[in-house]
Every structure is written in C-alpha cells, then in structure tokens.
Amino acid sequence: MQVQDPVLAQALASDSEPTLPPHLSPDLFPRLAAGATLCGGEHESFAVETPFTRQAFGSVLMGTSADVDYAVERARRAQQSWAKLPVAERAATLLRFHDLLLERQAEGLDLIQLETGKARYHAFVEYYALVATARYYAYHGPKHLRSQFRTGFLPLLTQTEVHHQPKGVVGIIAPWNYPLLLVYTDAMPALLAGNAIVVKPAEQTPFSALWGAQLMYEAGLPPELLHIVPGYGADAGAALTEAVDYVHFTGSTEVGRTVGQQAAAGLKEFSLELGGKNPAIIRHDADLEKTVKGMQDTCFLIAGQTCVSTERIYVHESLFDEFVTRFAALTEAMLINARYDFSAHMGSLASQEQLDKVTAHVDDAVEKGATVVTGGQALPHIGPLFYAPTLLTGVRAGMDLFREETFGPVVAIYPFKTDDEALALANDSAYGLSASVWTRDLSTGRRLAECLECGMVGVNDGFFAAWGSIDAPMGGFKASGFGRRNGPEGLLKYTEPQNVATQLFAPMVPAALGFTQEAFAGVVDTAFRLIKHIPGLR
C-alpha cells in the first residue's frame, strides 16, 4: 500500500497541544462537555484522544448511576407533553435536524475523524447515512405511526383499531465506531414515536453524541427530551438499562448478552445490534473487475471496524488465483494517512485494544500456517494505531480469526467448488449479520441470498445498497443481534401497540344481546360458518 506523511506527524512523540482539523476550535470541546447531563458531586475527568496521534484534545466528566437516574427522571417528566404533540410537529424537528446536518457538514466530518481516526470518505459515509435517515423518518415515519383499523371479532359488529403508543424513556448505549450515526439513527425514530431519550456514548467518543444533541436542540427539540450521560459501561450503562423503559445497544455480542439479561430481568424490551463474521460468495460467473473494486470498502471501511464488514471471502476455484492477485494489487495501492481530506482509502484503528486484537489474530494465523498475501503488520510510521489492510489465505479451523470476529482490516480468502459448498461455508458461523453474493446471474444470486443465514444480503454489492435502503430493516440473525433498525420496524419497536375494540351495538356477552348462553353459542357458530364464505368478512 501507499503511505503519506500525516498532517499530525509532528505531534506523534510530542507533548504539545494537538493540531486540530480546520473546522474545529479548541473552545468547542468544553462547550460540548458542558452539555452533558450530570447531577451534583465529584466526577472523574476522562481525557479523549484522537487515534491519529493518541493525543488528548478534550475531556469530559464521567457520569455515574446517580447521573443516569437524574437524567432519566428529567426525561420522564418531559416525555408526556412531547408525546401529546401531533406527529407532524415531531417530524418537523427531524427535518430541521436534517437541514442543520447539511449546513454543518465540514464541522461534523472533522469531529468524526478526530474522535475515530477514520478516513474522511468513511466519515462522509457515516454522516450521510444519518442525513438520509433523518429525511426518511421525517417524511415517512408519520404514516408508519398512523392508527390502523383491523378486522374485528365479529365483522360489522366489532370495530378494532390499533394505535402506537410510546414506550416512555428509551436508553441508547452507543459504540465508538459510528459515534454520531449510531446514536441518532435510533434516537430519531424513538423521538418521533413520542419517547424521550437518554444516551450513554462510548467513553472514547463522547463529543460526536454531544455535538449531535446541540444540533437537535437548535432544530427545536426541547432539551429535556434528550440527555447525554458520558460514562463507563459497567456503571452508567448498567444503570441506564435498569432505569429506562426500553434499551437499544450496539456493540459486541459478549456485552450485548449482558445488556439483554439485565433488561429481561426487569421485564423490559430491548434491541441489540451485535457482531458479525460476514461472508462474501464470489461465483464462477462474477464480473471480477467490479467485484474486486466492490470488495475494497466492503472489507476496509473504517479499517474493518464495521459490524457489517466482510471478513471471509469464498471464491470459486476457477477464479481464486486471479481474484487474490487482483485484490492484493488493489489493496497494496490503497492510500493510508491521517489527513482531514479525501486523499486516504483507509485511516487508523480506533484504540490500542483494537490494534492488539488485530495483531494477535494475524500473528496466530501465521504461526499456525496461514499465508499473508499482503499487509500483516502495523504502520507506526503513519500513526500509533495504524495497521495495514491484510489479506490471508490458508486460514483454517483452530486459528483465532477463523471463527472470531477480528473487527479490523483483515480478510481471509477461501476457494470453493459448488454453490452448495459456498453456502455451507458461509453459514458455518455463530454470527448472521451481513453477507454478499457476486454473480452475473441475478436470479441465482437472489436465490443464494435467501439461503444465507443473516439479516442483510447484497447481490453484487457488499452492504452499501442494503444498509442504505433505509425503508428496509437492518439487523442480525443468531449471535448478531435481536430486533431491527431502519424502516417501519426500526420505528415501531419504540412503541407499544394498543388494541382498542369498540362494540357497536352491545357488549359481546349473551345477556346484553338478549340471548341465553346456549342460543348465543349457536349464533356465533352459525356466523363463523358463514364468514368463511364471504370474502369481505373473512
């Protein structure tokens, strides 16, 4: 791969003040930190570092369980009046938020890069996924929330209507890899449904969540409806799960199990978007040039730290050698740097923990016989947490990365002989989040896609088309999660369906209708036998 000297290189071994990107000023971070919801008392200060240089650029006070309870109490008081507003007024707030995102793009992209170490294009993908989500729910959310008439117990006599009531206070526990998108892509539908929100962002990336909250307030959202409480998962995260009426968690499968258990113990509903070990199937008739180009961001978006990134590629044996050669050449040509512009194909890993895990997975595979086609090493001359995009062959059972999610820029490539073999290999995983099929035969591609045990499949696309289809649900099978994001499903999960049945003439009891129990039973029996034959009443 190609490397360029990063803009921040002079700060790598320096104690000087970090060089901020052009659209951010040092006074922004204290102002954002002041927007966190905290009650009185002493709080630990947490320094937030940029992965590009590991220099601190700001700090936040870390909330505790007491702060979470305080935020939830304030949110609960505000929620009832918000729920009484017409849905159109709540949707208008989302549309103003959408417009502010477009106006503040440069500042938002700088902040995402600073906190996460992403390449700018990858920050752009996150940012505009949020813009699209805001537009979708502002325009289409109200129709999903409309009350609906359903078939009553006895047609013509029973009128049944279903309403969607808000849950109350929704808790969002957000990850570090998409610190803006994965807060507000869930907060927006929850708010539209009439709920209040309390967010615990990842401790490494609190400022994106705080920045988004400020835009929400500018868009007209009453501040008491949205609270950001920075904190650690074991304390603030656990307290949030206990205090709210519904919790959404995005993160690792291991932590997700704990969140689910805590929520279930309180008889609270929850949704979880968890990990993936996502496969791609490249059939014998795939357009190899387009497939290789499509794989670049499918595998290396934000250095592979995306739950939907491809970590396993199964290539038909007739194309295997050529695919590996072409994909290696494209991977080696990738530009890697720490610049706040669109020059890089990939940026940094987010933390020392991620770098250590990626390094351990690759080293373990190599020690056990895997071959590094390209990459396979850290890039400290670019920045302290950079790792080369890496392709491996010869990966097999017994190697850590064979089944475990790496969550880094590491891809294992395997040959296969038949479609059935490819499906079996792709489905041989505890995870089931995302997958792709690459073929010129679209009918076969869609058939294979339906056979894959995962919640989102792209045909001749990695995940961008499916992920970007916001009217459709996104989520995982098996250990990849529970519940869905996006579409009507991503909105209605934040509601309680309420069935209101009106009996038009008299209560549905024999005496009120002037029947004995035996006569009433006979009338119902006759009615049920007739209804079967009347299409409009079935």
Catalytic residue among 299, 307, 311, 454, which? 307
Asked whether 140 and 132 are in contact (CB, 8 A), the reply is no
DSSP, collapsed to helix, strand or coil, labels residue 47 as: strand
Tell me how far apart the alpha carbons of residues 453 and 387 are, in angstroms, rounded to a whole number.
31
Tell me how far apart the alpha carbons of residues 432 and 495 are, in angstroms, rounded to a whole number.
26
178 Cβ contact list (under 8 Å, min separation 6): 126, 250, 306
Catalytic residue among 115, 273, 311, 405, which? 273
Tell me how far apart the alpha carbons of residues 75 and 196 are, in angstroms, rounded to a whole number.
6
Q: List b or e across 172-205, with b for residues whose CB sees 16 or more CB atoms inside 10 angstroms.
A: bbbbbbbbbbbbbbbbbbbbbbbbbbbbbbbbbb
**For tokens 């304030």, what's the residue?**
74
- 307 as an active site residue: the answer is yes
**Environment class of residue 279 by beta-carbon count within 10 Å: exposed (0-12), middle (13-18) or buried (19+)?**
buried
Tell me how far apart the alpha carbons of residues 449 and 219 are, in angstroms, rounded to a whole number.
41
Tell me how far apart the alpha carbons of residues 445 and 422 are, in angstroms, rounded to a whole number.
12
| Other C-beta atoms lying within 10 Å of the C-beta of residue 152 | 17
Type of residue found at 186: D
- 451 as an active site residue: the answer is no
Asked whether 300 and 121 are in contact (CB, 8 A), the reply is no
Question: Residue 33: what are its φ and ψ, rounded to 5°?
Answer: -60, -35
Asked whether 47 and 62 are in contact (CB, 8 A), the reply is no
Question: Residue 139: what are its φ and ψ, rounded to 5°?
Answer: -95, -35
Tell me which residues are annotated as active site.
Answer: 273, 307
